[in-house]
Amino acid sequence: MKKTVLTFAEAKEQGEKLTMLTAYDYSTAKLIDGAGIDAILVGDSLGNVMLGYEDTLSVTVEDMIHHGAAVSRGAKEALVVIDMPFMSYQTSVYDAVVNAGRLMKEGRAGAVKLEGGRAVCPQIKAITDAGIPVMAHLGLTPQSINAFGGFKVQGKTEAAAKKLVEDAMAVQEAGAFALTLECVPDKLARLITSKLAIPTIGIGAGNGCDGQVLVYADMLGMFSDFTPKFVRRFAETGQVMTDAFKAYIAAVKDGSYPEEKHTYKIDDDVIEKLY
Ligand code: KIV
């Protein structure tokens, strides 16, 4: 059965943990979906993981539609959430609604995600009023990396923690159906989770959130540019791939691949006429 924002609300009500992983292409989405995940996030981390940028700032709405549509084709049951990229919603409420609409119409998302607190509440309200579910994102919001001065844990001082709590309440009030909390101390994330009626999805925010999200390439050990402290590698797929690539190169070089069983046949009398 297709998972929706109602799945998120029910899970919070019943105290069941929600699961989310990123994906950026059809085949990976199909595998993750088949494993029984609740939601797939087409994160703008695609800028780092798929496109090789050093941050997420250069990712465009077109990039998100292109990859989002592929993921949507692969996800039969999971809720697909597509990230709104940098400057696709900060500029105005109008831009936010138009771009969220494109992610739904062209990317076939079930919801969109955007970063920020009170400053983007008018956008969250307008997008939600247009019938588009919004997941909010607070804490370390990578689109503000230049304002933060680097990838740092957020909400550690009293003032910063108070602001995070207020922002969390504000995005819920504006209509967000869920909230991603990234790189937030676990006790603060637990407090915010207890105050909110909507589910929190943590990444580097401890075990007290209503669910968890990870970048799939991180948890599979496929992305080695940097590995945040909160990542558990559930497999060493990067090593498995490297070994397979090396085995392929060796087999082609020594002629052991392709074998007879990998080839197509033609009648000998056809071939003989060509000599
Ligand atoms: O872009 C992304 O992958 C994200 C997750 C880190 C939550 O926003």
Enumerate the β-bridge partners of residue 159. Answer: none
Instruction: Supply the mean pLDDT for the chain.
Output: 97
Amino acid at 37: I
DSSP letter string, the chain: ----HHHHHHHHHHTPPEEEEE--SHHHHHHHHHTT-SEEEE-TTHHHHTT--SSSTT--HHHHHHHHHHHHHH-SSSEEEEEPPTTSSSS-HHHHHHHHHHHHHTT--SEEEEE-SGGGHHHHHHHHHTT--EEEEEES-GGGHHHHTSS-----SHHHHHHHHHHHHHHHHHT-SEEEEES--HHHHHHHHHH-SSPEEEESS-TTSSEEEE-HHHHTT---S---TT---S--HHHHHHHHHHHHHHHHHTT-SS-GGGS----HHHHHTT-
Res 56: pLDDT: 97
Res 150: pLDDT: 87
Res 12: pLDDT: 98
Residue 31 token pair: 């595998």
The residue-averaged pLDDT of 207-222 equals 97
Residues of the chain with CATH 3.20.20.60: 5-235
Question: Which pLDDT tens digit goes with each residue over 152-199?
Answer: 999 999 999 999 999 999 999 999 999 999 999 999 999 999 999 999
How far, in Å, from the CA of 1 to the mean position of ligand 1? 25
CA distance 71 to 78: 10
Residue 151 pLDDT more than 90? no
Res 25: pLDDT: 98
Amino acid at 43: G
CA distance 40 to 230: 19
Pocket probe mutation, ligand 1, options 50, 59, 180, 222, max atoms within 8 Å of Cβ: 180
Instruction: Give the residue with greater pLDDT, 150 vs 134.
Output: 134
The residue-averaged pLDDT of 201-228 equals 95
* CA-closest residue to ligand 1 atom 2: 43
* Pick from 216, 170, 243, 220: nearest CA to 33: 216
Res 225: pLDDT: 83
What pTM does this model have? 0.96
Residue 182 annotated in active site: yes
Catalytic residue among 182, 259, 260, 272: 182
Enumerate the β-bridge partners of residue 203. Answer: 182
Say if ligand 1 is within 6 A of residue 48 CB: no
Is residue 72 a contact partner of residue 107, using CB atoms and an 8 Å limit? yes
Question: Which pLDDT tens digit goes with each residue over 8-63?
Answer: 999 999 999 999 999 999 999 999 999 999 999 999 999 999 999 999 999 999 99
Q: Could you tell me the pLDDT band of residue 252, with boundaries at 50, 70 and 90?
A: very high
CATH for 5-235 is 3.20.20.60
Compute the half-sphere exposure of residue 109: CA atoms within 13 Å on the CB side of its CA.
31
Residue 36: left (phi > 0), alpha (psi -120 to 50), or beta? left
Res 115: pLDDT: 98
Torsion, Cα 83 85 91 96, to 10 degrees, reads -30
The residue-averaged pLDDT of 214-221 equals 97
The residue-averaged pLDDT of 67-95 equals 98
Res 226: pLDDT: 82
DSSP letter string, 198-245: SPEEEESS-TTSSEEEE-HHHHTT---S---TT---S--HHHHHHHHH
* CA-closest residue to ligand 1 atom 1: 43
Res 224: pLDDT: 84
DSSP letter string, 42-53: E-TTHHHHTT--
Res 231: pLDDT: 97
Say if ligand 1 is within 6 A of residue 179 CB: no
Question: Which pLDDT tens digit goes with each residue over 86-100?
Answer: 999 999 999 999 999
Say if ligand 1 is within 6 A of residue 85 CB: no
Res 78: pLDDT: 98
How far, in Å, from the CA of 46 to the mean position of ligand 1? 9
